[in-house]
Structure 1
Amino acid sequence: MSRKLLHTLIPAVAIALIPSTTAVQAANPASTYRQLDQLMDVFERVRAEYVDEVTDEKLIEGAINGMLSSLDPHSSFLNMRNFERMRTQTEGEYGGLGLTVSQEDGVVKVIAPTDDTPAARAGIKAGDYITHIDGELIYGLSLDDAVDKMKGLPGTTVKISVVRTGQQKPMELTLKREIISLKPVKHEVKNNIGILRISAFNKQTGEATRQAIAEMEKQAGSKLLGFVVDLRSNPGGLLDQAIEVSDAFLERGEIVSQRGRRKGDVQRYYAREGDDTKGKPIVVLVDEGSASAAEIVAGALQDHRRALVLGQRSFGKGSVQTLIPMTQDTALRLTTARYFTPSGRSVQEEGIEPDIIVPQLSDTDYKERRVIREADLRQHLRNDAVKDNKIIEEDDKENPRFVRTAADLEKAGVSDYQLDYAMKIIGRLGPVQTAEVSR
């Protein structure tokens, strides 16, 4: 099966190759025609009598968006502007501040900042809200318009107001715009442990991951003890890249399956023979910002017992979006399937539960900061396996293992508690324990 898949797992990145000529198979009942007549009646009435003149294009696009917004948070219509933005991000470079954002009830929410961008350097975090841009209140503004206000020529500045749960006053930040080159993979060897940071799943991610593994193996040689794969705040991306990354760590077996509307509509994707890491121990880091493609990788390695997953429960986006071109420069992004880990788990709503739950103690406000996951989004797909929402509620009891403060850790020279914890696990396992971790 070709690895050039035509699906994406998060908004804004996809490959537009699917024809839009699929016909409706079943005859529409008479009631449907009456409702369509009613839609046209409303269209004509608004067109003729609304207080201001409105273009047909705006009304039709609004009707399409209204239809899709009634489905789930990830189905949408891509007009010319959004379609071009999606293409640019898929290629791995765009202009702006380096933020992945969404909108709910008129509020712009941060899904994740991109590493080494103005937003990340300013300290913006997942779950923050952007309320003002250059002093203008953006509540109720469309997400497209809000994003356009944050974009601009590299070197120019933009002022944004950021509200964070637990803080009484908003943060007033002045950021300088940059060309955001999405380098999805970074790596380093520290204490004979390979640290692989994957921040997104664009077209370069799979190949970049394999190159990074090879470079770290060459750098450390036989002294390399294992790998930490950091998927924190990774909002996802292309399905084929999630499969490629998983394949780099697996010798064999299923990576992920996707199941559509019909009973027989199932596709399974498998690892090819050969583990690039030669069975060395792996710890995967996840948090509430790890979504979609990141969850596919974490779930595959966890189910195959190829890696320990450490951190906080992930976002919980277990759906696949297909991009269907409507014209040369517009497209429909439609949720067409759910994906499942090799053991048959759906992460929709639930997310990936770490093998070892470790809070980010080096984050001074991790307790107060509001966490937003898929289950919090309006109209999200339900997971039939989750019979009781209490199953996925956070345990707010204090864990006696995690009583150290950010100040204590800073004095001890620990700037990233979760990463430090993961590295200590790899250090304790060592190469002699490889067979147990990778069984």
Structure 2
Amino acid sequence: MQSKIDAFRFRSRWNFLFLLATAVLAPVVAHAQVRIPDAARNVAEVEQTLRVGDQLEDQRRWGEAVTHYEKALKENPGRREFEDRLVTSRFHYQIGRRYVDSSFLETVGTIGEQDALDLYGEVLLKVHAHYVQPPNWNLLLDRGLTAIEVAFSESAFAERHRLVVTTNPQPTFRQLHQSVATQRVYSRHDARQQAFELARTLQSGVGIPAPVSLLEFTCAAIGSLDDYSAFLTGNQLDDVLAQIEGNFVGLGIELKAEDEALQLVSVISGGPADQAGLKAGDRIVEVDGRSTREISTDAAADMLKGVEGSVVELVVLDASDAARRMRLKRMRVEVPSVDQVSIIDPDYGVGYVRITSFQKTTNSDMDAALWKLHREGMRSLIVDVRSNPGGLLTASVEVADKFVSQGSIVSTRGRSSAEDFDYKAHKVGTWRVPLIVLIDSDSASASEIFAGAIRDHRRGTLVGQRSYGKGSVQGIFPLSIANAGVRLTTAKFYSPAGHPISRRGVHPDVVVAMEDRQVVAKPVDDRLPIVDDQSDNTLAAAMQVARKQLSQRQR
């Protein structure tokens, strides 16, 4: 089975924050301007970035290190030192996540050597058949060795497999890296055989069981292809499929790691956390008797997961640091993909709707929102896809089709012709209301499909900042041998005018400088939230555009 998903950014539903320090250069002569040469400035910025990275790595804050190096590479494309550190940090982060994941631990504890080898072969077959470009088999093998080397240094990995270090393993790894570099790997069959031989060598040389090494080769083979392809444990696969469906079992909260706690970013209405009175900004500091200072925030977050109907005990601090101990029952939570539906300017009839992600329910949710606004007198519409990381490609096509009457919406092109699709608009059911779309640097993937279609057809006005620039399509492939799956890049997509989105993004018609803090909505008593354009410069600019367009139409 393959599910098409126009991928989520590499962040799942976590946002790891980091502090980037900057040096302040004092002038040598008072009242004189001193021009710092560009080359010197670039060297200083690189050194500062590496220093911050060193601090994050020393503190083993791998999630934040990944985010740090991703940002550095976006600002300095192609810098090898950032690329190498990103690879290593990402392996540390992924291994840490896997070794607190109950589904992966079950697999690693029961899988034998032959099944592990067959699992690796199955993954290589999917890469061979579906990946967007021909893979470099040598690179995937070498990255697999790097992943095992990183895993060897992780305490959770060593403790799980009872590894006792009696000699320095570095010479063994160095020799194996050299072996991979000197042997040409021509096919997936060659890669499978070499991985098997390398796993056997590691078992005899440093004591890592061969099935365990083969699992790391498997995870690294997918994770080394690009920023969006990844191995998915059974639990992660369930999470991804739940995001597609628009529901999941849990507490109904979105979290971020901050100050050795889990801070609530948002609380889903009607979920267990909402019913218990939790609010955005509250901090979880203890889960089932384990302090978030004693265990990693990743481990604490995984402890929040569980089967429907099970109970978790939390200690939560509110904004005043008052502690509450509570027991919450995990329930199935419906995640709205369309919210804050309202007429935000009754005088002009300006409607507003926010799309938080593109999932299976988005099409019907958007239909309901549009008819609600129509009944309330909508004469112009603002669609907000800021901070929308994407979702289902087909869902974004369906939403664009509501406003574009004919022609292309998006086209996809892969290495295989089976991945080549041209999605067309249909005239029936097209809404002709004047349209404004809000985008920002976190509008990605499916959001860019929607925004790109509106821009290229001149169907509406785009307001905000250039979008993220993720122009690739991922397929979700469950695996047959283990309780796991892979997310694999299968194609790139292009706007109706043929523009690639990857690394370029979608440019707005009206550029608004990025605010330090955007407040999109605020509660009003017990009623639905209203949009606050006074504290949101992008929305305020969109309102001006809408009013101007409506005034011109009335002349």
Q: TM-score range by the shorter chain?
A: 0.5 to 0.7
Partner of 2:538 in structure 1? 418
Equivalent residues of 2:381, 2:436 under 8 A apart: yes
Partner of 2:463 in structure 1? 310
TM-score by length of 1: 0.66
TM-score by length of 2: 0.54
State the Cα deviation string for residues 190-226 of structure 1 (Å, max 9, x = none): 2221111110111100111112101110122xxx220
How many angstroms apart in 2 are the aligned matches of 1:294 and 1:97? 23
Equivalent residues of 2:199, 2:210 under 8 A apart: no
Equivalent residues of 1:250, 1:275 under 8 A apart: no
How many angstroms apart in 2 are the aligned matches of 1:345 and 1:239? 17
Q: Is the alpha carbon distance of 1:87 and 1:22 closer, same or farther for their aligned partners in structure 2, counting shifts above 3 Å?
A: closer
Greater relative contact order, per chain length (Cα 8 Å cut-off, separation 6+): 1
Partner of 1:10 in structure 2? 7
Q: Is the alpha carbon distance of 1:175 and 1:301 closer, same or farther for their aligned partners in structure 2, counting shifts above 3 Å?
A: farther
How many angstroms apart in 1 are the aligned matches of 2:244 and 2:380? 30
2:231 aligned to which of 77, 82, 85: 77
What's the secondary structure of 2:438's corresponding residue?
A: strand
Matches within 5 A, 1:19-418: 31-32=185-186, 36-48=192-204, 50-51=206-207, 54=209, 56=211, 58-94=212-248, 95-96=250-251, 98-99=253-254, 122=280, 134-136=292-294, 138=296, 145=299, 147-149=301-303, 151=305, 156-157=313-314, 180-186=333-339, 187-191=341-345, 192-220=349-377, 224-262=378-416, 266-277=420-431, 279-327=432-480, 329-361=483-515, 363=517, 414-418=534-538
Q: Is the alpha carbon distance of 1:97 and 1:138 closer, same or farther for their aligned partners in structure 2, counting shifts above 3 Å?
A: farther
Q: Is the alpha carbon distance of 1:229 and 1:30 closer, same or farther for their aligned partners in structure 2, counting shifts above 3 Å?
A: closer
State the Cα deviation string for residues 311-334 of structure 1 (Å, max 9, x = none): 111111100011223218432221
Equivalent residues of 2:463, 2:510 under 8 A apart: yes
How many angstroms apart in 1 are the aligned matches of 2:383 and 2:443? 12
Q: Is the alpha carbon distance of 1:263 and 1:288 closer, same or farther for their aligned partners in structure 2, counting shifts above 3 Å?
A: same
Higher helix residue share: 2
Q: Is the alpha carbon distance of 1:413 and 1:267 closer, same or farther for their aligned partners in structure 2, counting shifts above 3 Å?
A: closer
Give the unaligned 5+ runs of structure 2: 14-121, 138-182, 258-262, 283-289, 520-531
Equivalent residues of 1:202, 1:241 under 8 A apart: yes
State the Cα deviation string for residues 261-303 of structure 1 (Å, max 9, x = none): 25796310011113542x2211101112111101100110011
Partner of 2:180 in structure 1? none
Superposition deviation, residue 38 in structure 1: 3.2
Between the aligned residues of both structures, percent identity stands at 27
What's the secondary structure of 1:333's corresponding residue?
A: strand
What's the secondary structure of 1:85's corresponding residue?
A: helix
State the Cα deviation string for residues 73-130 of structure 1 (Å, max 9, x = none): 111222322222222222212225644889xxxxxxx9x9687697995359xxxxxx
**Which letter maps to 2:472?**
S
Superposition deviation, residue 47 in structure 1: 3.4
Rg (Cα) greater in structure:
2
**Which letter maps to 2:293?**
G
Equivalent residues of 1:358, 1:418 under 8 A apart: yes
Aligned residues: 348
Give the aligned CA root-mean-square deviation in angstroms: 4.3
Equivalent residues of 2:237, 2:485 under 8 A apart: yes
Q: Is the alpha carbon distance of 1:121 and 1:225 closer, same or farther for their aligned partners in structure 2, counting shifts above 3 Å?
A: farther
Give the unaligned 5+ runs of structure 1: 14-18, 103-109, 125-131, 161-170, 366-411
Equivalent residues of 1:74, 1:335 under 8 A apart: yes
Q: Is the alpha carbon distance of 1:347 and 1:31 closer, same or farther for their aligned partners in structure 2, counting shifts above 3 Å?
A: closer
